Amino acid sequence: MSNPAKSTTEILGLSKSELEDLIRSRKLPAFYGRQIYTWLYGRQCHEFSEMTDLPLALRDQLQEDCRITPLVELEFAKSTDTTEKYLFGLSDGAEIETVLIPDRKTTTACVSSQVGCALACRFCATGTLNLTRDLTAGEIVAQLLFLREKKGERAFSNIVFMGMGEPLNNYDALVKALEIITDPAGMALSKRRITVSTSGVTPKIRRLAESGLGVNLAISLHAATQSKREKIMPVAQTFALDKLISAARFYADTVGKRITFEYVLLKGFNDTREDAMALSALTRKLDCKVNLLPYNPVPGLDFDRPEKDEVNRFAATLANKGVVVTVRTSRGRDVAAACGQLAAKRQKGNS
């Protein structure tokens, strides 16, 4: 075990070059830094004593003045549809959620990027929590390391940044985590299997496009007109729909990847034929697909789920207009698996 009482430097989340610097500062060869990097992210090791290819004296030093803080599992729930939901405790007592969603051929880890969220989308449980703080790169990566340690190398095949928080509002930590996740010497996951989901922070979409990371982008659209979007997503007041669509086009053109638009179907609000027509007009000329998500009602929030027939009619209207559309079935409903529901439930229980 590292020495939490005395230690100073948290090393989970450090990049390869930061670890090399840490070692160089001790007048030792930088390659030890690369070895630590692989232990941390390639082998999910959080004990310096187990880093057996490091000199014993270095392991003892690291034990004295560094620490590796894994997440603490506070709650675990498994849905009848096999979706798994984890509530983790962080070193300052904050809580975040991670969801594991097995499908026929893939298992997707849905990770959080912030504690709570500042964007307050009207239909979202996390939106009721407000923003406590950003996660560090280490805390983002730790969610995935936990899953691999618990369930093995194949714990997940895909990652979506669709848990608590707006990932592009924690841009630097997100990018640092993505570099570790995709590095062959780190977590070695293909960028093709990673999706960053944003509510539409337009300037950061452009920045991510130019970052060279090449991950997939999903945009939470949820309404096809500026006025409707503003009603359910306050972020739309800052980042207008026309600018968002042009940033989406820029991303698709720059990265060469099809954009996904997420559209949560809220009964009586955005599920009419008129809404479908507006959505098709907005998306038809883009290299994109539309994911329809029939709403998973959140206790205390004012929205309902449309009937199956209404969902199918909406999807058919889009398809007839030439939009690539899928309907995503809601997973883990019996364990409150939608983003933020477990944490919101706990926070309200404690207040």
Task: State the binding string over 253-282 for ligand SF4 (x if CB under 6 A, else -).
Answer: ------------------------------
Strands ordered across the beta sheet of 84-89: 72-78, 84-89, 95-102, 107-110, 158-161, 194-198, 216-220, 259-265, 288-294, 324-327
Q: Spot the catalytic one: 20, 84, 97, 166.
A: 97
Give the range of 35-43, 49-57, 124-132, 315-323 binding ligand SF4 by CB under 6 A.
124-132
Is residue 344 near ligand SF4 by the rule CB under 6 A? no
Report residue 141: phi and psi, to 5°.
-65, -35
Nearer to ligand SF4, 122 or 243 (CB): 122
**Residue 112 near residue 98, CB atoms below 8 Å:** yes
Task: State the binding string over 224-253 for ligand SF4 (x if CB under 6 A, else -).
Answer: ------------------------------
Is residue 199 near ligand SF4 by the rule CB under 6 A? yes
Is residue 121 near ligand SF4 by the rule CB under 6 A? yes
Rounded to whole angstroms, the Cα distance separating 22 from 14 reads 10
Is residue 126 near ligand SF4 by the rule CB under 6 A? yes
Tokens of 216: 């997939």
Rounded to whole angstroms, the Cα distance separating 208 from 171 reads 9
Number of residues this chain uses to bind ligand SF4 (CB under 6 A): 12
By CB under 6 A, name the one of 12, 22, 71, 117 that touches ligand SF4: 117
Give the range of 48-56, 113-121, 145-153, 201-209 binding ligand SF4 by CB under 6 A.
113-121
Give the range of 100-108, 120-128, 145-153, 310-318 binding ligand SF4 by CB under 6 A.
120-128
Nearer to ligand SF4, 175 or 344 (CB): 344
Is residue 166 near ligand SF4 by the rule CB under 6 A? yes
Tokens of 32: 């030890």
**Residue 187 near residue 165, CB atoms below 8 Å:** no
**Residue 301 near residue 345, CB atoms below 8 Å:** no
Told to judge if 97 belongs to the known catalytic residues of this protein, a careful annotator would answer yes
Amino acid at 92: D
Tokens of 203: 């300037």
Q: Which residue has the tokens 């936990």?
A: 146
Please measure the distance between the N-terminal and C-terminal CA atoms of the chain and give it in whole angstroms. Answer: 34
**Minimum distance, C-beta of residue 262 to ligand SF4, in the bound complex (Å):** 9
Rounded to whole angstroms, the Cα distance separating 39 from 36 reads 5
Select from 197, 311, 217, 301 the least CA-distant residue to 259.
217
By CB under 6 A, name the one of 144, 145, 164, 208 that touches ligand SF4: 164
Select from 342, 295, 333 the least CA-distant residue to 97.
342
Told to judge if 339 belongs to the known catalytic residues of this protein, a careful annotator would answer yes
Nearer to ligand SF4, 121 or 335 (CB): 121
Give the range of 92-100, 141-149, 163-171, 184-192 binding ligand SF4 by CB under 6 A.
163-171
Nearer to ligand SF4, 122 or 267 (CB): 122
**Residue 326 near residue 291, CB atoms below 8 Å:** yes
By CB under 6 A, name the one of 127, 138, 167, 306 that touches ligand SF4: 127
Rounded to whole angstroms, the Cα distance separating 139 from 242 reads 34
Is residue 119 near ligand SF4 by the rule CB under 6 A? yes
Residue ranges in contact with ligand SF4 by CB under 6 A:
117, 119-121, 124, 126-127, 164-166, 199, 339
Catalytic residues: 97, 339
